[in-house]
Amino acid sequence: MKFRTLAAAAVLAAIGAGAVIAADEPQVVRQGMMKSVGGAMGALAGIAKGEKPYDAEIVKASLTTISEVGKAFPDQFSAGSETGHETEASPKIWEAMEDFKAKSAKLGADADTVLASMPADQAGVGTALGTLGPNCGGCHEVYRLKK
């Protein structure tokens, strides 16, 4: 159990460290943030599908990551950061910044709501994904360039 707590803390620390290291490269920070959300969603999906046992520490760390990234993500889209590193960010982000911010804030708020009622089992994690997943998909549909 202690290892899982340390692993979860390491994930959260990596998010912050990545932001400091690449502070002058918002594209790199954005990509790191999305990878951390992808990892958190993957961990939750593994539990929801029964591929991994329910672990409250993993669930809590994953939801915390999603919450924090949801709240901080729009700050990484300053004017002029549309270009540079390879990016999947659509120019629509800068054209509709308020909507983009609202979608990201909703993800953070929904993660907070789920965290406040902390899923207690596999079924609860599945329900949480049903709440969080549409946020991700809805934003990606509009604001992510397809490869």
Walk along the chain (147 residues) and give the pLDDT tens digit of each residue: 454 544 455 555 555 544 454 456 898 999 999 999 999 999 999 999 999 999 999 999 999 999 999 999 999 999 888 876 678 899 999 999 999 999 999 999 999 999 999 999 999 999 999 999 999 999 999 999 987
The pTM for the full model equals: 0.82
Q: Which residues contact 79 (CB under 8 A, 6 or more apart)?
A: 94
Q: How far apart are CA 85 and CA 81, in angstroms?
A: 9
